Structure formats: C-alpha cells, structure tokens
Amino acid sequence: MTVAMTKRAREWFPALVVLVAGIAIWEGVVKGLDIQRFLLPAPSTIWTSFSDNQGQLWHEGWFTFQEALGGFAIGCTAGAVFAVIVARWTLLGTAFLPYAIAANAIPIIAFAPITNAWFDPLTKTSKMVIAAVLCFFPVFVNVVRGLRSVKPSQIELMRSYDAGEFTVFRLVRVPTALPYLFTALRVASVLAMIGAIVGEYYGGSLDALGANIQQDAALFQFEKAWAEIVIACLFGIGFYLAVVLCERVVMRWQPPVEMVGA
Amino acid sequence: MTSVKIDGVSKQFQGGTVALQDIDLEIEQGEFISFIGPSGCGKSTLLRIVGDLIEPTAGSVTVNGKSARQARRDHDYGIVFQDAVLYDWRTVSKNIALPLELAGWDRERRAKRVAEMLELVELHGFGEHYPWQLSGGMQQRVSIARALSFDPALLLMDEPFGALDEMTRERLNAELLRIWDASGSTVVFVTHSIAEAVFLSTRVVVMSARPGRVSRVIPIELPQPRTAATREDPRFFELATEVREALHMGGSIEEKVVA
C-alpha cells in the first residue's frame, strides 16, 4: 500500500466506523425493543427485501433516474442560457432577477400535482417538467452571480489588450462563473431526484420508484418501501458524485480539496 | 524620440472631484519615470489615462506619436497592476501567452516566446504551475513577463510591488532594472515608496493632491547600472531627501510663489 493510500484509508476510517456502528445500533434497537415493522424495519429485513426484489428495484430506479436526468438537463441548460442573456443585458436582469431569487426561496415542489394535471401523469414528461423547474432557478441565479463576479482589474487588463466583449466573455466571464455553475449543478442533481420522486407520489407509471414507494407503504409492505428508498438513495448519491467528478475534470486548475469534510 | 507626451491633461470624476489638473509631461524613449505622491494625487489615474483605460476630461496623450487609443489598439504598451491579475484557470505559461493569443500568434511562436520570458523573469520550470501554487513575488514576475511578452515599447506599472515584503521588493527592483536594461523599453512606474522611486528612476515626478498636479520633476543622476551599492551612495540619500521634501511641501510651494 502506498503512503497516499494509507493516508486516504485513515481519513475514511472514522466515517466507516460510524456507518457500521449506526447500522448495528439500528438493528439492535429494532430487535431489542421489538419495534413494529411499519414504524421501522430492521436493516436485515430491508436487505432481504432488497435482494429478493433486486431486478424490479433497479428497473424502477433507472426509470425514475431517467426522469430526473432529463429534467436536470433541460432545467440546467435553460437556467444557464437565461443567465447569460440576463448578465449581458442588464435591464433584463433588473427586471427578472428579483423574481428568480424569490422563486429560489419558495417550495416549487408544491406544484408537483399541477404538472401531473398539465401533462399525462403516466409519462416521464410530467416528472421531467417539475424536475426541470426545480433545477432552473438555482442554476440561473448562481450563474448570473458568477458571470457578474469578475474582478474589475481582470476586465481592465483585457481592455489594455483591446479585447472585445465576446473575447472577455469567453476568456474571463465563463471561467469565473464555472465554480458557481458547478455549485448549482450539485444542488440541482439532488433537486432533480426529489422532483421526480415526489412527482410520482401524486400518480405515475408503476415502473416508477415514487409510485411504488407510495403504493407499498399503503399496502403495508414496508420492507419493500424501505428497499425502494435505499435504491433512491443509491441513484441520488451516484448522480451527485457524477456531478462532482465532472467538476473535478473541468476545473483541474483548482487546488485539491480534502475529500472528508469537503 | 518622445515615447509619451502628456499635454494639458485634466480629469474630473463624476461628482466633481478633480483628480488631475493641467498635467504636462514629456517622456523620452528608454526613460524610467516614477510618479510619486500622496494617496489621491491621481498618479494611478494618470497612468490609466496614458494607457487609454480612462479618458481625460481635457487635454490629450500621445504614445509613440499616436493617440493613446490607437496605441492601445496597436498593443504598444504592457501593463502591470498592484495585484498580479493572473487568470486562475490558466497555467503560468498560458497567462504569459494571453496577449500573444489575442494578437493572433501561432502556437509554436507563442511557446518559444513564453520559454524566453520564463527565462527572463527566472521562473524556468514553473510554466505548468497554476497561479495559486506561486508566492506573491513569483506571481508578480509572471505578470511582468506577460506585460513584456509582446515586446511593447512602453511598460506601465501601477504600484507593482506595493503588496510585497521589503526583501522581495528590493530583489524585484533589481530584477526590473535588469529587464529594463535588456528590453530598452520606456517604463512609467507608480509608487508610494521614495526609496523605490529614487533607486529605479531616471526621473521622479512628484505629485501633490487635491487637485492632482505635478509639483516637481527631479532628475536622478545616479550611475547606471544601479546595484546594491547604489542604495548606500551618499548621493542616493540626498536625492531621497530632495524627493521627500518635495512631497511634504506639496501644494504649499505654489502658494508661496503666488504670495
């Protein structure tokens, strides 16, 4: 084992202990206090249900993930494009930005039943729409902020080279905004999963994770509902990590950050 | 040959503050000129007017026989600010190559030039580093290399070593003189430090505040090249004293003349 690997293992070790201990305590408390399974099933029973239904669970997770990913792509692209427009034409910014910031602070997820009414609830489209709306605002607000946070001296230097506005945009504003964009994309990846799953609670295809969680809970199949929540977590974490990985690849110039505590 | 001609330049900012009033100054090719004065005397503003980054309210500036605007368009000057103004996402080499990229140099020619510049500012081997990996003094050297990369006839420097510690500053002063000697460019240098101004310059322009004016121009007749021994030369102290007195008298000289 190399020095770096030993160091990394040592950094991760405390977190790993907490995970194992947490599961063990959970198992012990549920078994020891004889907690009813509709309140909280033991990790071992959730695991049994998980392995029994694996094929179906991954299929449901994948279905919901596609909705989240579609909504994420649409919402984030639209957010970034509008941000560029607003940052370029200041008047539009003063007109729209206050509402965007306000929208960022309201629970847009409350609109989930409405999008089900606007679009066929059995299609992926209705969930993509709510996920897209959720993703739009943080990306929009953050990218506007990023494009505007360029240091005046950096612009002044470009002026000394007689660089045009588009060159300044490409070489200075966009790279300055990238860290802001990625912060928003991380948030958006989480919001997209929430949007898709909560949207499905209000009615969706039986291929979908949210519809199944809702139904299994209603039918007292709590172990299966919990197994579906575990799948949702796995896809959610995977999505988030994929965004973090993209961030690392795109912004290689940044100083390395410690994994733990980052 | 005249490098910079400042002709009756005044600058009044919005809100009425008169930053500069009626500045006349001629700078010859190859000179090293320092602007020194109290905060608010408009020395940085004057430097930016020469670089066509700020427009004067009255008067005009000629650089290499053309208008300041045309000179900026023709990339006739390089500029260095107090903060190194490096682009974090570019390596040292790419920061130095930026003006060359904008001027449309091809990759091979850029790489060759960057290698020369790294050699000049003694940063050989740091080309692939990112700015955050360098100390403040090294960052400022990158900034100087970038300003000189396209071989401008004029170098404008706005308190370039103001944020550095005394030792680094003295070392970079010596390095700057070596570079100036090798390049033959004209340097216009803004500073707060009397010792720095006297050590570096062929002439020191002492300015006074409210409104910003030139109160005295002091020729620095110290032998070239300047070395560590220069700082211990009795003549160095006399000139520093002369600059200090000119600074402290500021506007009051004129009042005496009027009276």
Nearest CA-CA distance, residue B156 and chain A, Å: 11
Position A65 scores a pLDDT of 94
Question: Is A41 inside a domain boundary?
Answer: no
Position B255 scores a pLDDT of 42
Q: How many CB pairs under 8 A join A and B?
A: 48
Question: Is A5 inside a domain boundary?
Answer: no
Which of A160, A169, A248, A251 is the best residue to mutate to test the B interface, defined by the most B CB atoms within 10 Å of its own CB?
Answer: A160
Q: What separation in angstroms does the CA of A115 have from each of A88, A110, B75?
A: 32, 10, 56
CA dihedral B212, B218, B223, B228 (to 10 degrees): -50
Mean pLDDT score, B138-161? 92
Are the beta carbons of B72 and A253 separated by less than 8 Å? no
Mean pLDDT score, B221-232? 87
Nearest CA-CA distance, residue A233 and chain B, Å: 34
**Confidence band for A259, pLDDT divided at 50, 70 and 90:** very low
Question: Is B228 inside a domain boundary?
Answer: yes
Question: Is A24 inside a domain boundary?
Answer: no
Question: Is B118 inside a domain boundary?
Answer: no
Q: What is the DSSP string of A160-178?
A: HTT--HHHHIIIIIHHHHH
- Residue A172 with chain B: CB contacts under 8 Å: 87
Residue B81 at interface with chain A, using a CB cutoff of 8 Å: yes
Question: Among all residues of chain B, which has the CA nearest to that of A171?
Answer: B87
Q: Is the pLDDT of residue A262 over 50?
A: no
Question: Is A208 inside a domain boundary?
Answer: yes
Q: Is the pLDDT of residue B259 over 80?
A: no
CA–CA dist A62, A66 (Å, integer): 6
Structure tokens at A20: 């194992």
Nearest CB to A172 within list B77, B81, B87: B87
DSSP structure class, residue B26: E
Tell me the pLDDT tens digit for each residue of B97-113. 999 999 999 999 999 99
Residue pointed to by tokens 């910079």: B4
Nearest CA-CA distance, residue A16 and chain B, Å: 33
Nearest to B239 by CA among B208, B197, B183, B210: B197
Here the CATH number for the domain that contains residue B70 is: 3.40.50.300
- Residue B44 with chain A: CB contacts under 8 Å: none
Q: What is the DSSP string of A43-112?
A: HHHHHHHHHHTHHHHHHHHHHHHHHHHHHHHHHHHHHHHHHHHHHHSHHHHHHHHHHHHHHHHS-GGGGH
Q: Is the pLDDT of residue B130 over 90?
A: yes
Residue B67 at interface with chain A, using a CB cutoff of 8 Å: no
**Confidence band for A106, pLDDT divided at 50, 70 and 90:** confident
**Confidence band for A258, pLDDT divided at 50, 70 and 90:** low
Residue A170 at interface with chain B, using a CB cutoff of 8 Å: no
Tell me the pLDDT tens digit for each residue of B65-121. 999 999 999 999 999 999 999 999 999 999 999 999 999 999 999 999 999 999 888
Position B223 scores a pLDDT of 87
- Number of Cβ within 10 Å of residue A79's Cβ equals 26
Residue B98 at interface with chain A, using a CB cutoff of 8 Å: yes
Domains of chain A: total: 1
Average pLDDT score, chain B: 89
- Residue B79 with chain A: CB contacts under 8 Å: 157, 160
Residue B130 at interface with chain A, using a CB cutoff of 8 Å: yes
- Number of Cβ within 10 Å of residue A83's Cβ equals 27
- Residue A254 with chain B: CB contacts under 8 Å: 88
Here the CATH number for the domain that contains residue A217 is: 1.10.3720.10
Are the beta carbons of B81 and A153 separated by less than 8 Å? yes
Q: What is the domain range of residue B218?
A: 2-76+152-258
Residue B5 at interface with chain A, using a CB cutoff of 8 Å: no
Which of B52, B85, B93, B105 is the best residue to mutate to test the A interface, defined by the most A CB atoms within 10 Å of its own CB?
Answer: B85
**Confidence band for B209, pLDDT divided at 50, 70 and 90:** confident
Residue A253 at interface with chain B, using a CB cutoff of 8 Å: yes
CA–CA dist B190, B79 (Å, integer): 11
Domains of chain B: total: 1
- Residue A153 with chain B: CB contacts under 8 Å: 81, 83, 85
- Residue B90 with chain A: CB contacts under 8 Å: 253
**Confidence band for B29, pLDDT divided at 50, 70 and 90:** very high
Question: Is B109 inside a domain boundary?
Answer: no
Q: What is the domain range of residue A116?
A: 54-250
CA–CA dist A65, A73 (Å, integer): 12
B130: left (phi over 0), alpha (psi -120 to 50) or beta: beta
Residue pointed to by tokens 């026989």: B65
Are the beta carbons of B85 and A162 separated by less than 8 Å? no
In B135-233, alpha helices (H): 136-148, 166-183, 194-200
C-alpha angle A50-A54-A56 in degrees, rounded to nearest 5: 120
Question: Among all residues of chain B, which has the CA nearest to that of A167?
Answer: B102
CA–CA dist B257, B161 (Å, integer): 36
- B48 SS3 class: helix
- Residue A160 with chain B: CB contacts under 8 Å: 51, 53, 72, 77-79
Listed range (A33-37, A69-73, A256-260, B206-210) with the worst mean pLDDT = A256-260
CA–CA dist B12, B14 (Å, integer): 7
**Confidence band for A1, pLDDT divided at 50, 70 and 90:** low
Mean pLDDT score, B37-48? 91
Position A257 scores a pLDDT of 63
Which of B88, B98, B158 is the best residue to mutate to test the A interface, defined by the most A CB atoms within 10 Å of its own CB?
Answer: B88
**Confidence band for B258, pLDDT divided at 50, 70 and 90:** very low
Nearest CA-CA distance, residue B81 and chain A, Å: 8
Question: Among all residues of chain A, which has the CA nearest to that of B150?
Answer: A161
Are the beta carbons of A160 and B53 separated by less than 8 Å? yes
Question: Is B147 inside a domain boundary?
Answer: no
Tell me the pLDDT tens digit for each residue of A18-45. 999 999 999 999 888 888 877 888 899 8
Q: What separation in angstroms does the CA of B83 have from each of B92, B123, B128, B162, B173?
A: 15, 18, 21, 9, 16
Instruction: Please give the ipTM for the structure prediction.
Output: 0.86
Tell me the pLDDT tens digit for each residue of A137-170. 999 999 999 999 999 999 999 999 999 989 999 9
Predicted TM-score of the model (pTM): 0.83
Q: Is the pLDDT of residue A96 over 50?
A: yes
CA–CA dist B231, A16 (Å, integer): 62
Residue B77 at interface with chain A, using a CB cutoff of 8 Å: yes
Tell me the pLDDT tens digit for each residue of A192-214. 999 999 988 887 788 888 888 98
Residue B89 at interface with chain A, using a CB cutoff of 8 Å: yes
Return the axis-axis angle of helices B107-120 and B92-102, rounded to nearest 10°: 130
Average pLDDT score, chain A: 88
Are the beta carbons of B72 and A154 separated by less than 8 Å? no
Are the beta carbons of A251 and B87 separated by less than 8 Å? no
